[in-house]
Chains A and B, each alone.
Chain A
Amino acid sequence: MPSITITPDLIVFVPLALVAALSAIGVVALKNAVRSALCLVLNFFTLSALYFNLRAEIIGITQVVVYTGAIMVLFLFVIMLLNLGAPQLLAEKKDLKIGAGLAGGVILFGVIAGTIFPPLVSVNVIHAPTKYGEPATLGHTLFTQFVWPFEVASILLLVGIVGSILLAKRKI
């Protein structure tokens, strides 16, 4: 185990990571769906701060705008619309599934960690140039090398819009 050198990145990372981990647990553990959604909002904000810590500013801003601004608002809107206030409506059953799920999660964590972590334990040198997170670099790459995936993504979003309207209409 190499000794951990204290760097500013690490000092910023640790509290953010703790908040992110706790709010991730909150999403799963809290019974009320609105509280889960608010925990997820907190998680997305801390992830955005972590992206800033990784010097990818434009991705952090996009995270806030897309996830916290659009997706979570949609989630909260649907929760309010369905009005699932009564807790007995979706009371979680205390059955075998919870124990099995937790055990499966621990096993999954162990397997992936045991496979991925050992070769990467001592990596802490940053090789990326500082401008890798800048909008100019991102846009240049998006519209040169990744222009076909970009077009496919636009078609996907169009299909998503049409599909959601089709699902939401009572009569076509």
Chain B
Amino acid sequence: MITGAPLILYLALGLFMFTTGVVGVIIRRNPIVVFMCIELMLNSVNLTFLAFARYGLWYQGTTDHGDISIMNGPMMIIFVMAVAAAEVAVGLGIIMTIFRLRQDIDVDDMNLLKG
């Protein structure tokens, strides 16, 4: 029986980073920093996935190539990374286009779609 650091510490760190990201999305006006806060949230969720996978609360026994259920967390991290890469490419393209149109990227001034 291997004991590591308590699981709750990893969860607390992930929750703290997630909350910081939420606060940053709310209070910052620079869309690039808002994007970075979204990345922060995605990464905190990745940390939580991996912590739950390692501590394996519902893990039943082992098979040769690993019990598949223990791999759900790491698989989610791979797909979150892929989605984050696509999201950043498209999002920064949108920011560049807006900056080319307006010479200003303050998110509070972008109200073109307001009815």
Contacts and interface: CB of A to CB of B under 8 A. Distances in A.
Contacts of B96: 78, 81-82, 167-168
A140 B65 contact: yes
Contacts of A167: 90, 93-94, 96-97
A108 B65 CA distance: 39
Interface string A37-49: 1001001100100
Nearest to B2: A126
B17 A160 contact: no
Chain B binding surface, main DSSP class? helix
A27 B40 contact: yes
Looking at A117, A141, A149, A153, which has the most chain B CB atoms within 10 Å of its CB? A141
B32 A129 contact: no
Place the interface of chain B in its size category.
35 or more
A46 B96 CA distance: 30
Interface in A91-128: 92-93, 97-98, 100-102, 104-106, 108-109, 112-113, 116-117, 120-128
A106 B20 CA distance: 9
B110 interface: no
Contacts of B97: 167-168
A36 B36 contact: yes
Nearest to A5: B3
A24 B40 contact: yes
A90 B6 contact: no
Nearest to B36: A40
Contacts of A53: 5
Contacts of B46: 47, 63
Interface string B23-60: 11011111011011101100100110011011111010
A97 B21 CA distance: 15
A69 to B, nearest CB: 11
Q: Which 10 pairs across A and B sit closest by C-beta, in order of nearness?
A: A160-B86, A127-B56, A167-B93, A101-B26, A28-B24, A105-B23, A9-B4, A101-B27, A10-B5, A141-B71
Interface of B: 1-13, 15-17, 19-24, 26-30, 32-33, 35-37, 39-40, 43, 46-47, 50-51, 53-57, 59, 62, 65-68, 70-71, 74-75, 77-79, 81-90, 92-97, 99, 104-106
